């Protein structure tokens, strides 16, 4: 896609702004169920981050650059509540640290400002998606079957296959990955990382921060707390029982209630 602004979808017409950032291989629409729960009293923005969904592609992966792409969506003079999951959580943290005046409060979902030792499951996903023969693909069922061995969890396969798009008609029908699989797949080491040098030059964010973790996830550990508190001294950590990495999808009712209480605090 040619360069341009990030693709967004908006729900709700009144109230304070609430902006959601998805994780790796996701799209803004992954937040739809959560967004609908807040649309009556918030102006909700669902963002497709660069190289994902309907947003423009880049030729390299860079967290600080991605954060700066998000900034134009955060209106000066109308600070937002910003929510980010996994990769989107790192983007949201960097945008908040770099532009604290644009963020009234921050919610980080199941990720920490750290470099993770392994991205093995995502390496497996990338290899499986690259191995899929899109030219001979007859339908989504074929794609699902093609990913089944490498991605045995049907929920994860469904999540990944949301990126598969059918184009054309008649004899000219073809399939393509909507996200930039080459750039993302080639840069998993950067994706699992954290740009410590860039973040170290930024002062701590003094606003309220909610840090939501899945109790069954390994992405938020006790040893991450020191780094999180250094950047976000007013952080409060909540662990959601029975949830893994995709907290908002696995325990949506609990996630919505926890986030609702956090957002309500700014009006009390």
- What ranges make up the beta strands (E) of the chain? 8-11, 17-21, 43-47, 80-85, 103-109, 164-167, 174-177, 209-214, 235-240
Calpha distance 29→134 (Å, rounded): 24
Calpha distance 59→79 (Å, rounded): 31
CB 132 within 8 A of CB 147: yes
86 counts as catalytic: yes
- Choosing from 62, 182, 239, 249, which is the catalytic residue? 182
- Choosing from 22, 85, 99, 245, which is the catalytic residue? 245
- Choosing from 52, 86, 217, 231, which is the catalytic residue? 86
Tokens found for residue 9: 């979808």
22 counts as catalytic: no
Tokens found for residue 124: 């497996």
Tokens found for residue 86: 């996994």
245 counts as catalytic: yes
3-state SS, residue 176 = strand
256: Cβ contacts below 8 Å, ≥ 6 apart = 34, 37, 38
Catalytic residues: 86, 182, 245
């Amino acid at each position: 896609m040619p360069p341009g602004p990030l693709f967004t979808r908006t729900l709700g017409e009144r109230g304070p702004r609430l902006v959601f950032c998805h994780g790796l291989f996701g799209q803004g629409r992954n937040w739809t169920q959560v967004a609908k729960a807040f649309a009556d009293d918030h102006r909700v923005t669902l963002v497709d981050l660069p190289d994902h969904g309907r947003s423009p592609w880049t030729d390299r992966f860079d967290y600080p650059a991605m954060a700066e792409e998000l900034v134009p969506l955060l209106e000066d003079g109308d600070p937002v509540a910003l929510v980010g999951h996994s990769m989107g959580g790192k983007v949201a943290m960097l945008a908040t640290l770099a532009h604290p005046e644009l963020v009234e409060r921050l919610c980080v979902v199941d990720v920490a400002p750290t470099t993770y030792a392994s991205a093995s499951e995502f390496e497996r996903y990338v290899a499986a998606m690259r191995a899929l023969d899109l030219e001979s693909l007859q339908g989504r069922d074929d794609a699902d079957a093609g990913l089944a061995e490498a991605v045995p969890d049907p929920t994860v396969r469904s999540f990944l296959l949301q990126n598969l798009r059918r184009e054309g008609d008649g004899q000219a029908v073809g399939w393509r990955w909507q996200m930039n699989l080459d750039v993302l797949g080639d840069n998993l080491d950067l994706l699992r990382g954290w740009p410590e040098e860039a973040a170290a030059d930024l002062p701590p964010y003094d606003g309220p921060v909610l840090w939501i973790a899945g109790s069954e996830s390994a992405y938020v550990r006790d040893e991450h707390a020191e780094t999180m508190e250094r950047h976000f001294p007013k952080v409060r950590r909540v662990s959601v029982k029975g949830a893994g990495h995709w907290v908002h999808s696995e325990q949506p009712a609990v996630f919505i209630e926890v986030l609702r209480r956090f957002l309500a605090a700014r009006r009390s």
